[in-house]
Chain A
Amino acid sequence: MKKSLILACQIAFVALVIGLWSLGSWIGAFDPSILPPPAKVAMALQALLRNSDFLGDSLDTITRVIVAFAIGAPIALAAGVVMGENISVGRSLSPVFNLVLSVPQSIFLPLFVLIFGLGFTEKVIFGITHVFFVVAVNAMAAVRQVPHGQVMLARSFGASRFRIYRSIYLPAMAPQVVTGLRLGIIFDIIGILLAEMYASRSGLGVLLLRWGESYAVDKLMAATVLISVATIVINESMRTWEVHVGRWREAVESR
């Protein structure tokens, strides 16, 4: 199928869902206290975007997400590279990492609150644990994909260690590392929102929880849509980057 046709189908599908939603609300099929009509949600969204309290909570959440990523991602990258390069370290640690990846990290949340209390530190550390493993595992896999023959050849041409890292490791690792970073930031958002919904004084998570409990469904829906769109935008821009650094890989694989 042509790309434009696929896009048209996707847009049509979203329009259909909103259309059915509007229609259902208009003929009274949905209880407006559970599912308000789209127009009402749109109005709530508009109001939220002018509300300084909401913007303040959003900023709190965004700050936590960014700080967790800024701390977690570089440490994870370094750890992944060390594990990938050093066979004995990798062999002993990577099974542990893979096991940890399969444990739902939400079960540690009560423990985190006990240890770190409620607040910025607890949220950020919980976010870091979400970023760390997925970025590290991908970085480790990326290092192991660096072709040994090319490294040896570069050495035979007299390349320095720095040159080999820059000219061979970096481009060879980039696609998989960016995949890890993309998943890392999505997991980070999941972690921060979850921590906020579980117990928090500020942030989008606690607002969602509060509006849900108080039947402020229009606001709840508006914030839900807003967060969804934001994460989709983040994910898709990361994916664009991923495709960009991985162009050579796509071409090699599709041969």
Chain B
Amino acid sequence: MTSGRPVVIETRALRKVYGIDRAPIVALQDISFAVEEGSFVSLVGPSGCGKSTLLQIMAGLVPSTSGEVLVDGVAVRQPAPEKISLMFQDATLLPWKRISENIEFPLEIRGMDRDERRHRAAAMLALVGLSEFAERYPHELSGGMRQRVSIARALAPDPRILLMDEPFGALDEQTRIKMGYELLRVWEKTGKTIFFITHSLTEALFLADTVLVMSHRPGRIVGTIDAGLPRPRTYEIIGTPEFGATRNRIWSLISQDDRDLSSEGMAGL
């Protein structure tokens, strides 16, 4: 976060409380951070720390209790599809639509005409290397391929920001590594700003320029770590002492205020 590029996403003292009438649960507490244009930011934290809630607030799908999210300095109060696309752990492809139609779906919502949509979907499929699957149905594709389609669909409306909620969480480890490479390649080619939620410390650090570390009860940012790793990233980087040291720092941030976790030490990884 030292490049001096303009800030594209900013959260200011975000707070989210559920069940206000009885036994309120503070899901998010004082979340403030900034994401620079074109950067890759990971958010890592334990399950149930409010990561997904944060992402839904950033996408304008769920209102915050207080505080605000600014995109290009404008407060987000409802979905802003021209700026932001979303991706979930589940590819959420429409099973009754062909792959190309799925990619066209956000464009159809936007009211783009048919030919232009087709054209755009074909270009996006080429970008993720799935051109020959355009006429197939989602169930005919593997989990990794479906997530690539989901990336293509997210990119189709040409948003500037991709918000990704554990997009590779349901994939096996090998596919997950490949998808990480794939995402980095797409990111470098398109120059999008990516905000990537994961519970994997390794994945968070491997992909990102900056890692935001979240803790739970209530969910809050407990640290901002500059990855400080060279690009392009290769798998070997994961074995370097620098990578290990930074990952340990992230872990100590997550576990420091959580006695259950710190007693287990690294076993939680």
The answer for the CA separation of A154 and B110 in the assembled complex, in Å, is 11
Q: A149 to B96, Cβ gap below 8 A?
A: no
Report if B46 contacts A (CB, 8 A): no
- Per the bound structure, the CA–CA distance linking A252 and B95 in Å amounts to 8
Distance between B104 CB and nearest chain A CB, rounded to angstroms: 11
Q: Is the CB of A251 within 8 A of B139?
A: yes
Q: Does B81 contact A (CB under 8 A)?
A: yes
The interface residues of chain A, by DSSP majority, are classed as helix
B85 at the interface (CB under 8 A from A): yes
A 193-236 binary contact with B (CB < 8 Å = 1; else 0): 00000000000000000000000000000000000000000000
A237 within 8 A of B: no
CB <8 Å contact, A149 and B90: yes
A-side contacts of B90, CB under 8 Å:
149
The reply to whether A158 and B79 contact each other, CB–CB distance below 8 Å, is yes
Taking the nearest CB of chain B, how far is it from the CB of A3, in angstroms? 22
Is B61 interfacial (CB-CB < 8 Å)?
yes
A149 to B, closest residue via Cβ: B92
Q: How far, in Å, is A250 (CB) from chain B's closest CB?
A: 10
Interface residues on chain A, number (Cβ under 8 Å): 22
Most chain B CB atoms below 10 A, which of A158, A168, A172, A249: A158
Q: B94: which of A163, A171, A249, A251 is its contact (CB, 8 Å)?
A: A171
Chain A nearest CB, measured from B158 CB (Å): 13
**At the interface, yes or no: A240 with Cβ under 8 Å from chain B?**
no
**Interface contact A252-B105, CB-CB below 8 Å:** no
| Contact residue among B81, B88, B92 (Cβ-Cβ distance under 8 Å from A158) | B81
Decide: B92 and A153 in contact? CB cutoff 8 A.
yes
Q: Separation in Å of the B128 CB from the closest CB of chain A?
A: 17
Is there an interface contact between A157 and B96, defined as CB atoms closer than 8 Å?
no
Name A248's contact: one of B84, B92, B137, B157 (CB within 8 Å): B137
Q: Is the CB of B139 within 8 A of A252?
A: yes
* Complex-state Cα separation, A65 to B108, whole angstroms: 41
Chain B, 49-75, contact with A by CB distance < 8 Å: what is the 0/1 string? 000000010011100000000000000
Asked if B151 is at the interface (CB within 8 A of a chain A CB), the reply is no
The reply to whether B109 and A156 contact each other, CB–CB distance below 8 Å, is no
When C-beta atoms are compared, the residue in chain B nearest to A153 turns out to be: B92
A179 to B92 Cα, complex, angstroms: 25
Contact B84 A156 (CB under 8 A): yes
Beyond A149-B88, A155-B79, A157-B81, whether A168 also contacts B94 by CB under 8 A is yes
B106 beta carbon closer than 8 Å to chain A: yes
Q: Determine whether B86 belongs to the interface, using a CB cutoff of 8 Å to chain A.
A: yes
Q: In the complex, which residues of chain B have a beta carbon less than 8 angstroms from the beta carbon of A159? A: 109
Q: Are A147 and B137 in contact (CB under 8 A)?
A: no
Q: In chain A, what residue has the closest Cβ to B94?
A: A150
Distance A159 CA – B61 CA, assembled complex (angstroms): 12
Q: Are B105 and A167 in contact (CB under 8 A)?
A: yes
User: Please, what's the 1-or-0 string for B122-137, where 1 marks a CB less than 8 Å from any CB in chain A?
Assistant: 0000000000000001
- Contact of B92 with A156 in the complex, beta carbons under 8 Å: no
| Contacts A157-B157, A159-B109, A251-B139 given; does A171 touch B81 at CB 8 Å | no
Do A156 and B105 touch across chains, with their CB atoms under 8 A apart?
no
A251: B residues at CB distance < 8 A: 95, 137, 139
Name B105's contact: one of A149, A157, A172 (CB within 8 Å): A157
Contact B61–A155 (Cβ < 8 Å)? yes
On whether the beta carbons of B109 and A158 are closer than 8 Å, the reply is: yes
* Bound complex: CA A154 to CA B106 (Å): 7
A152 at interface by CB-CB < 8 Å: yes
Judge whether A157 and B106 touch: CB under 8 Å.
yes
Beyond the given pairs A149-B88, A150-B94, A157-B109, 5 more chain A to chain B contacts, judged by CB atoms under 8 angstroms and listed by A's residue number, are: A156-B81, A158-B110, A167-B108, A171-B94, A252-B95
A-B contacts, 14 listed (Cβ < 8 Å): A149-B90, A152-B88, A155-B61, A156-B81, A157-B105, A157-B109, A158-B82, A167-B105, A167-B108, A172-B96, A247-B96, A251-B139, A252-B95, A255-B139
Interchain residue pairs A-B with the least CB separation, the first 7: A158-B81, A248-B96, A157-B106, A156-B86, A149-B92, A248-B95, A252-B139
